[in-house]
Amino acid sequence: MTADEVVSRLTSGMTLGIGGWGSRRKPMALVRALLRSEITDLTVVSYGGPDVGLLAAAGRIRKLVTAFVTLDSIPLEPHYRAARESGSLELMEIDEAMFMWGLHAAANRLPFLPVRAGIGSDVMRVNPGLRTVTSPYEDGETFVAMPALRLDAALVHVNRADRLGNGQYLGPDPYFDDLFCEAADAAYVSCERIVDTAELTKEAAPQTLLLKRSSVTGVVETPNGAHFTSCAPDYGRDEAFQKLYATSPYAEFAERFLHSDEHAYQSAVQAWQKEQRP
Amino acid sequence: MTPVTRAEYCVIACAEAWRDNGEVLASPMGLIPSFGARLAKRTFSPDLLLTDGEALLVGLDGTTEGWLPYRQHLTMVTGGRRHVMMGASQIDRFGNQNISCIGDWSRPTRQLLGVRGAPVNALNNPTSYWVPKHSRRVFVEKVDMVCGVGYDRAAAAGPSAGRFHRIPRVVTDLAVLDFATPNHVMRLASLHPGVTVEQVRVATGFALHVPDEVPCTREPTAEELELIREVIDPGNARAREVPERAAA
C-alpha cells in the first residue's frame, strides 16, 4: 500500500491509535499523509510525541487519550501545549500503566482490566467516567477498572516488514506497537524497508518479529518514515530538525515541509539540512 | 581538596535514598539523582540495577546485563522492585505531587508533561522526589493536579492505595525532607550545611514540621567525593543544576 491509500481507508471521527513512544519510532510518514487529507474530528490514543503535536496544531484532534506528550530531548511539546492552553481539545489523561492495561484489555476482548493506579490521584477527578472494581477474592482490594482502549485503526512504524504484514523491530524497545495493532479493527504498518519473509530472520532473532500478519491490515514502505523521531538502529532522532519543528510556528513549518507528498517532505528536509552546513 | 559544594551534598542526599534497597531498579529522573544513584551503586548499594535511559540494564562500565523495555519496566513498578526519584513541579505537605499542568486542568495556564507514570509509581514502589530549586512555587499548600499520590490521599483512597505506598524522601537544593511524623506531614529531616531552618521555612509555602534538633546532611567521605569529581561527573554538570549560592 501507499501512505495515501492507508489514509483513504480512514474517516473523520475515528478512534486512532498511534504507536511509538514520545519522540521515538513514530509513524510520521502516515501522520504526514493524514495531515494532507481532510480527515478530522479524531480521537487519538497515543503515548504522545510530535504525532500529537502536528495533528493538534492542524486542528484534527477532537479528543486525546494519553499519559504525556513530549519530544524527549525537548520535554514539552509546544503545539500540544498551545492546544491545551487554548482549551481546544478534549483530554482523557491517564497514567502510563493504565494506558497499557487499556490496550491489553482491548487486545484481549475484555471490557476492562484492574490496575493499581489512578486511585487517590486526580486522574479520577478529571475522568469521572472511570469506575473501580473490587476483588472477589479474600483480599477484597479495590482497583481502577481500566476500560479497554479499543481502536478503529492503529498506525505504527517498524524497521522491516514483509508484504504479508509480519513486522520486525530492530531497536531496543518494542514500545506497545503489537498491542496497538491487536487492539485495533484495522492496523497499518509503515516500515523502513519491505523485505522477503525469509530475509527477516536471516540476521535477526525471531523475537524481533513483533507484529503478526493476522493483526496487520496493510504495509507501507516509507524509508526515513519515522523522521524526525528515532528509528534505531536505522537512524537516531534528528535533533536539529526537531528543534526547528519545536521553534517554528506551525503554519510556517507546514508551508515549507508539509505542502506536498512524502517525497517532497524528504527533499525539503534534505534541502534544509544542506542549508545548515557551513 | 576544595570544600564540598551544595551540589555535592545534593548528590549524597540523593544517593542515600537508595541505601539498603537491595536488588531493585534505581530510576533517577534528573541529573543529580542520576549521579546519586551511580554513587550509591559504586559504594554502599552495589546490588542496584540501572538502565541506560532506554531499554537496557547496564553495569557501571556500560556492560549490558539485561533487557528492560517499557512494558517490563512497568512490571518492575507494580511488582515493587524499583525505587524511583521523580521531579515535582508542585508538591504539598503530604507529598502529593504534580507534573501535569499548572492552573485549572480543563484549560491550564501552563501545560507541563502530563501525569506520566506518577499515579502508578506512587501506589506501587517507593517514590522519592528531587526538587533542584526549593521555592514556594514548588512547595505549595495545594497542588493543581495530583499525579503522585501523597499520604493523606493514599489513606483516604483505601487499603489498596496505601498497601505499597511510600515516599522515602524529598531532596532539594536546601534540605532533605521526609514524612516520619505521626500524621505523615512533611518534616525537615536534614539541612545541607550552610542552610538555615529559616531559609527553608521562607522557601516553603506551607507549615513544615521542624524538629527541635535538625541534623546536617552528612558529609561525603573522601572516597565518595573523589568518585563524584573524578569518575561520575568530571565535567561538573552538577554545578549547573545546583549552582553555588553566595553565602547567606
> How many Å apart are CA A223 and CA A158, to the nearest integer?
11
Does B247 reside within a domain?
A: no
Helical (H) or strand (E) element with A125: helix A123-126
Residue B181 cell numbers, joined: 511524623
Does B191 reside within a domain?
A: yes
Chain A hits for B120, Cβ within 8 Å: 95-98, 115-118
What percentage of chain A reaches a pLDDT higher than 70? 100
Q: What was the pLDDT predicted at B1?
A: 73
> How many Å apart are CA A272 and CA A228, to the nearest integer?
13
Chain B hits for A126, Cβ within 8 Å: 105-106, 145
Distance from CA of A93 to the nearest CA of B (A): 7
Residuewise pLDDT in 10s, chain B (248 residues): 799 999 999 999 999 999 999 999 999 999 999 999 999 999 999 999 999 999 999 999 999 999 999 999 999 999 999 999 999 999 999 999 999 999 999 999 999 999 999 999 999 999 999 999 999 999 999 999 999 999 999 999 999 999 999 999 999 999 999 999 999 999 999 999 999 999 999 999 999 999 999 999 999 999 999 999 999 999 999 999 999 875 44
Does B215 reside within a domain?
A: yes
What percentage of chain A reaches a pLDDT higher than 90? 99
Angle, nearest 10°, between helix axes A50-57 and A239-247? 30
Determine contact, residues B147/B98, Cβ cutoff 8 Å.
yes
Q: What was the pLDDT predicted at A213?
A: 98
Q: What was the pLDDT predicted at B138?
A: 98
Does B69 reside within a domain?
A: yes
- Quote the distance between the C-alpha of residue B171 and its chain's center: 5
* CATH classification at residue B25: 3.40.1080.10
The chain B residue lying nearest A69, using CA atoms, is B113
Give the other-Cβ count within 10 Å of A214's Cβ: 10
Q: What was the pLDDT predicted at B246?
A: 53
Count CA atoms within 13 Å of residue A203 on its CB side: 5
Q: What was the pLDDT predicted at A277?
A: 87
ipTM of the complex: 0.96
Does B248 reside within a domain?
A: no
Chain A hits for B67, Cβ within 8 Å: 172
Q: What was the pLDDT predicted at B247?
A: 47
Structural domains in chain A plus CATH codes: 3-93+149-238 (3.40.1080.10)
Q: Please say if the pLDDT value at position A37 is more than 60.
A: yes
The total of structural domains in chain B comes to: 1
Q: Which of A122, A134, A176, A237 is the best mutation test for B, with the most CBs of B within 10 A?
A: A122
Q: What is the pLDDT of residues A184-224, one digit of tens each?
A: 999 999 999 999 999 999 999 999 999 999 999 999 999 99
Q: By C-alpha distance, which of B208, B199, B204 is closest to B248?
A: B199
| Mean pLDDT calculated for residue range A251-277 | 96
C-alpha distances out from residue A91 to A52, A76, A148, B152, B174, Å: 12, 16, 17, 27, 37
Q: What was the pLDDT predicted at A278?
A: 77
Domain range for B30? 6-241
Does B17 reside within a domain?
A: yes
Does B46 reside within a domain?
A: yes
Q: What is the pLDDT of residues A70-114, one digit of tens each?
A: 999 999 999 999 999 999 999 999 999 999 999 999 999 999 999
Look at A75 and B113 and tell me if their CB atoms are within 8 Å: yes
Q: Output the pTM of the full model.
A: 0.97
